[in-house]
Structure 1
Amino acid sequence: MGVKKKFFFGFLCVWILFFSIIATTYKKNTFINLPTYNINNHIDFFFKKIILPNQFNLSKIFVTTDVLKAIINLNDGQIEKLDLLKYKNKLNSPDPFFFLKKQNNAIYVANSFIKKTDIKNKNLDHKHINFISQKENFILNKNNSILSIPIVSYSNKDFIYTKTFIFKKGEYLIEIKHNIKNIVNKQYKFNIFNELQKNFKKKDESFFLKKIVLKPFKGIAYSNEIDKYKKINFEKITFKDNTNILTKSGWISILQKYFLSAWIPNSDGIKEMYIKKDDNNLISIGYISKDILVNSKSQNTVSSFLWIGPKIQDKLSLLANNLDLTIESSFFSFISKPLFNFLNFLYKFTGNWGLAIISITVIIRLMLYPFTKSQYVSMLKMRALQPDIDLIKKKFSTNKLKMSEELLLLYKKKKIHPLSGFLPLLIQMPIFLSLYYMLNSTIELRHAPFFWWIQDLSESDPLYLLPIFMGISMWLVQKNSSNNISDPLQKKIINILPVFFTFFFLWLPSGLVLYYIISNIITIVQHSWIKFILLKK
């Protein structure tokens, strides 16, 4: 081989060696993307000691779907903040409804974490778990229906813990998958803790608002094998009332007027529900899963579901047994549910919830017309008998028993039932209460406008005009139906009732006041029609 060829060959070897060193160095420091779904790749990522890129040195990640906006803290793997994008925080506010939040003076969080337990010792301390993420911002695109967000722990040498949040398009249900991979020659047990925490501060309210005005329930609720649906008001939970319940099924939740958060387990076996309160009025309700056994060099995955959003009756009923009971409808739920379905049906035709309320009021009053007619005819007959009644009362004023017997004989002779006038009232009261609870807890009616100054049928009238109209209409009804009362005291009581109810209705939802106004107007029209027919005969 000539000198030139030897020189060229040596030069080529040097360059090959040089590029090999550069390539090896570059490979050792190359930043790679964290795989999204393959758990085994996560393990390779950590244990090959590849240098972490700057994007993995994050403290928080941000998630946006079409209905939710969330912040997940990577220091503990919890959802730190969550907003509901489809609902406004306040009427005419540009800000979305703030749901989960963690501030100094306001805490409302949904926690989900694991606790490692030695197979022989169930009292090992729980270590704080930190996570890393592939990127900082996760957005559910219009073309996708699922957004899967894995975060991986690196703070324990015995196992790899991957926590995956799964968001779906248009859904308020979040699936959380806990994948635990044991990487040592030792067997471990794990437990999944899912809990809701909220601090409670008692508000100072007037006696009237506290005792008289009906308010929506705010507190915790749960369901298990023993209690189909049990709720506890925040005010009634004390520091000493720490509760632990063993159950195979059920759910836990925190309720407010239109929204709720709820953990729904997705695993078999006995779970332990707990309720507790600390010295800072932080109330916790949660459950602990059964022991999850992870053998040496193996893995296990457990899922749970978190609902964070509005009380949508149809979706809650499909999600878990008895979860739809969190929509407050009191004792008359068997009335309020079909009543809302019918109201929703009318809304599809009218396009306005106020018009739908007017329509359902007219239909209900037309259905009750036979009872209204019976009541009013009975009242007119009682009015015609008033001279005879007064005569009997005067004649037997000293003998109450004889007076009652003579009055009953008079009613029987004239074929009048003295209690028939109360029948329409007894029928309307359950409907009234069902409408109240429906308007107070149905998310579809939140911030629903009617017209002009009424922009939220679920809240009280800001100008108090509807309660005044209601009082006037009630006074007209009373004036038309109390002419047969001769007792001055009874007349005074009846005359003051419209004033009392006007004051009472000042704080009630505008939709309910609207129902009562239309009902009174229909009553006046029906009474006039019945009187006209009777006079014609």
Structure 2
Amino acid sequence: MESQRNLLLIGLLFVSFLIYQQWEKDHNPQPVQTEQVASTTQNSQTDVPSESGQASNVKVQAGQSHGQLITVKSDVLALTIDTYGGDIVKAELLQYAKTEKNSSPVELLDVNGKHQYSARSGLIGGNFGQARPLYHVAKTDFSLASGQNEIQVPLTATNANGVVFTKIITLKKGSYNVAVDYKVDNASTAPISVKMFGELKQNTIKAKGGFFGHPNYRGGAYSSAEHRYEKYTFSDMKDGDLNANTRGGWVAMLQQYFAAAWIPPQNGNNILYSHSGNGFARIGFISAPKTIEPGQSATLSSSAWIGPELQDKMAAVAPHLDLTVNYGWLWFISQPLFKFLKFLHSLVGNWGVAIILITLIVKGVMYPLTRAQYTSMAKMRLLQPKMKALRERYADDRQKQSQAMMELYKKEKVNPLGGCLPIALQMPIFIALYWAFLGSVELRHAPFMLWIHDLSAQDPYYILPVLMGASMFMIQRMSPTAVADPMQQKIMQFMPVAFTVFFLFFPSGLVLYWLVSNCVTLAQQTLIYRELERKGLHSRDKKEKN
């Protein structure tokens, strides 16, 4: 009976977790007056951050280019830059296909189409005009040549006072971290003070997907001295603007598997801000001011991560940037588990095989607890007649009944929680692996074998979920129960069916983990029961039931 109750407990905990996850997703589904640096002939209105980090209430024609478009291409990134403001208005991730069947690269940023998304940056201050500069560039097409490790794109503009602004965008080979630097040459007769800003802007279209097995957060996040990592949803932005002063830090816009982030200077103070309005959400930073004397020059530096959520590389770019990988509230377990999974993959070269190996290792480590669980369950079943007698004897006195039960447990050296504790300890590990499988871009479009071509997608023929349900049914059959209530029996019989239906829509990598885990449980259960039979414990249990 304890085995059946534990199985029901697992089901209830797991379904409760899924329901909570869906509830959290449903309840958590800017302008910057930028670059006041140059007086140009552009008449269109734009939006730029003020000195306080709050956005001015001016209109912007999203998706419309005001200048010339130039393309910059490395081996992993293809960027489109608008010379009006020097913003990144399109970004393609060349190593990542849109879908398994569509080999076109993922477009993380794009100001055209239904979902408008861009990475803007510029300078504030200097008592210049409100318009953004129209930069000049030597050519319109830049590509990383063979043998090159990086490519630089210099954009230049000069204001009416003779101050020269050079915006330098640098792409490095194999890197998704884009350096954005400003060199300011003050050829005027007065000192100037400038600040740098960077922001991510997108319209607040709700992300697709997000049903139980496929959580898909789309929204903001930031890191500061007070918060290593904090989500800032579109709803949060609508309710109130972010306004945080911090040393270092970063801001980001996230979605499943991919992220865009601005990383300001880490050795200075920055303002992190957000704004929501007119169907758009913005999150950005403003750096500390820098004063440049006449005849002097200065450089202000930042970078933008535009790419997949690769934890090791993101951690090297900025502190805690790797936390943008959506590992849920058990991230401190998910992270080391995934690192170990990644290590196993480096040995075998197949993510599916790595999942099988980590399942075997986790179940092996948990074997002492599993053994204790089944031993405790067997002992508890042996005590059922005595426990029943005590309940009948002290039916009218709950306190004496509890005392008699505790004395019985102590005498027989049985822990009544021995069957539940191992389950409680294993659930966090399962949930952590669940998030690791769903949040790791490395598993996106990763093949296993035969018909499984994408471990992050559901099994197209539902073979793994059916096998998982069958293995769960076999575990039930091997765990005899004393449940006599017909309703409880029906509930227990329905559990494998319910789980099979749930897992039809889960990523095949997660179903593979659960299937292998069930198979190992069956093997362990058989070994444990044989050991108990040799000791005479399990056989006596069977005789008492008969």
Q: Which residue of 2 aligns with 1:197?
A: 201
Q: Is the 8 A contact 2:224 2:250 kept in 1?
A: yes
Q: Which residue of 2 aligns with 1:148?
A: 152
Is residue 186–residue 294 contact of structure 2 (8 Å, CA) maintained in 1? yes
For structure 1, the residue ranges without an aligned partner over 5 or more in a row are 1-56, 119-123
Q: Which residue number in structure 2 is paired with residue 327 of structure 1?
A: 325
Deviation at 1:414, TM superposition (A): 2.1
Q: CA offsets, 1:416-447, max 9 Å, x none?
A: 11110112212211111111111111121111
Q: Which stretch has the larger CA shift, 300-309 or 153-162?
A: 153-162
Once the two structures are TM-superposed, the CA of residue 267 in structure 1 deviates from its matched residue by 6.1
1:179 lines up with 2:183 in the alignment: yes
For 1:296 and 1:332, the matched residues in 2 are separated by 54
Distance 1:409 1:486, change over 3 A: farther
TM superposition shift of 1:518: 0.9
Q: Is the CA contact 2:257–2:439 (under 8 Å) kept in the aligned structure 1? A: yes
The Cα offsets for residues 68-99 of structure 1, whole Å up to 9 and x where unpaired, read as: 11111112211111101111111132201111
When structure 1 is superposed on structure 2, of 64-73 and 155-164 the one drifting more is 155-164
Moved more, 212-221 or 362-371: 212-221
Residue 79 of structure 1 pairs with residue 88 of structure 2: yes
State the partner residue of 1:500: 498
Q: 2:164 aligns with which of 145, 160, 167?
A: 160
Secondary structure in 1 matching 2:126: strand
Counterpart-to-counterpart distance in 1, 2:469 and 2:284: 47
Q: CA RMSD in A?
A: 2.2
Match of 1:12 in 2: none
Task: Find the aligned partners of 1:489 and 1:398 in 2 and give their Cα distance.
Answer: 27
Distance 2:417 2:523 in 1: 23
Q: Find 1:139's aligned residue among 136, 143, 156.
A: 143
Distance in structure 1 (CA, Å) of the matches to 2:88 and 2:192: 27
Structure 1 distance, partners of 2:140, 2:207, is: 39
Of structures 1 and 2, the one with the larger relative CO (CA 8 A, separation 6+) is 2
Deviates more, 1:405-414 or 1:161-170: 405-414
Aligned residue number for residue 475 of structure 2: 477
2:22 corresponds to? none
Q: Mark the CA change 1:403 to 1:497 in structure 2 (over 3 Å): closer, same or farther.
A: farther
Distance 1:181 1:203 in 2: 44
CA contact (8 A) 2:265 2:287 kept: no
| Counterpart Cα distance in 2 of 1:476 and 1:409 | 36
| Alpha-carbon distance in structure 2 between the residues aligned to 1:463 and 1:335 | 32
CA distance in 2, matches of 1:335, 1:160: 51
Q: CA deviation at 1:204?
A: 8.6
* Alignment: residue pair count: 470
Cα pair 1:106 1:199 within 8 Å, conserved: yes
The equivalent residue for 2:25 is none
Per-residue CA distance 1:492-537 (angstroms, 9 max, x = gap) = 3322222222233233222111111111111111111122222234
Could you say what secondary structure the match of 2:205 adopts? coil
Q: One-letter code of the match for 1:114?
A: L
Map 1:90-105 onto structure 2 (within 5 A): 90-105=99-114
Which residue number in structure 1 is paired with residue 375 of structure 2? 377
Structure-1 residue corresponding to 2:133:
129
Q: Deviations over 1:293-337 (max 9, x none)?
A: 222232221111111111111112222111121122233333222
Pick closer, same or farther for the CA change 1:162–1:190 going to 2, 3 Å.
same
Cα shift at 1:356: 0.9
Question: Is residue 221–residue 229 contact of structure 1 (8 Å, CA) maintained in 2?
Answer: yes
Task: Give per-residue Cα distances to partners, 1:175-215, cap 9 Å, x unaligned.
Answer: 1111122222222222211111111123698xxx66x5572
User: Which deviates the most, 392-401 or 374-383?
Assistant: 392-401
- Aligned in 2, Cα 1:401/1:502: closer, same or farther, shift over 3 Å? farther
Once residues 260 and 149 of structure 1 are traced to their aligned partners in structure 2, the CA distance between those partners, rounded to angstroms, is: 23
Structure 1 residues 91 and 286, CA gap change in structure 2 (3 angstroms): same
* 1:338-349 map, 5 Å: 338-349=336-347
User: 1:268: how far off?
Assistant: 4.2
Contact 1:267-1:302 at 8 Å conserved across structures: no
- What amino acid is aligned across from residue 257 of structure 1 in structure 2? Q
Assess, with a 3 A threshold, how the Cα gap between structure 1 residues 366 and 312 changes in structure 2: closer, same or farther: same
* CA 1:462–1:521: 2 relative to 1, 3 Å: same
Higher radius of gyration, 1 or 2: 1
**Structure 2 match to 1:116:** 125
Q: Does 1:245 align with 2:244?
A: yes
Alpha-carbon distance in structure 2 between the residues aligned to 1:79 and 1:71: 6
- Checking the alignment, whether the CA contact within 8 Å between 1:362 and 1:522 is kept in structure 2 is yes
Instruction: Return the alpha-carbon distance in structure 1 between the equivalents of residues 349 and 266 of structure 2.
Output: 43
Q: Which residue of 1 aligns with 2:174?
A: 170
User: Partners in 1 of 2:198 and 2:96 — Cα distance?
Assistant: 26
Aligned to 1:337: 335
**What residue identity is the alignment partner of 2:228?**
K
Could you tell me whether the CA contact under 8 Å between 1:187 and 1:293 is conserved in 2? yes
Structure 1 range deviating more: 496-505 or 434-443:
496-505
Q: Report how far residue 471 of structure 1 moved.
A: 1.9
Q: Which runs of 5+ in 2 are unaligned?
A: 1-65, 536-546
The answer as to whether partners of 2:115 and 2:205 remain within 8 angstroms in 1 is no
Change (3 A) 1:394 1:497: farther
Match of 1:41 in 2: none
Pairwise CA distance, 1:157: 4.6
Q: Confirm or deny that 1:351 pairs with 2:355.
A: no
Q: Check 1:185–1:154 CA distance in 2 against 1; reply closer, same or farther (3 A cut).
A: closer
Q: Is the 8 A contact 1:63 1:138 kept in 2?
A: yes
Q: How far did residue 107 of structure 1 move?
A: 1.2
Question: Helix, strand or coil: the match of 2:175?
Answer: coil
Seq. identity, %: 37
CA distance in 1, matches of 2:423, 2:233: 31
- Output the CA distance in 2 between the equivalents of 1:337 and 1:480: 35
SS in 2 for 1:421: coil
TM-score normalized by structure 2?
Answer: 0.81
Distance across 1 between alignment mates of 2:245 and 2:533 = 70
Q: State the AA in 2 paired with 1:272.
A: I
Distance, in Å, in 1 between the alignment partners of 2:401 and 2:479 is: 25
Contact 2:169 2:179 in 1 (8 A): yes
Cα 1:236–1:429 change in 2 (3 A) is same
2:270 maps to which residue? 271
Counterpart amino acid of 1:67?
V
**Structure 2 counterpart of 1:462:** 460
Are the structure 2 counterparts of residues 335 and 203 from structure 1 closer, same or farther at C-alpha, using a change threshold of 3 Å?
closer
TM-score (norm 1): 0.82
The amino acid across from 1:375 in the alignment is Q
2:282 corresponding residue in structure 1: 284
Counterpart position of 2:292: 294
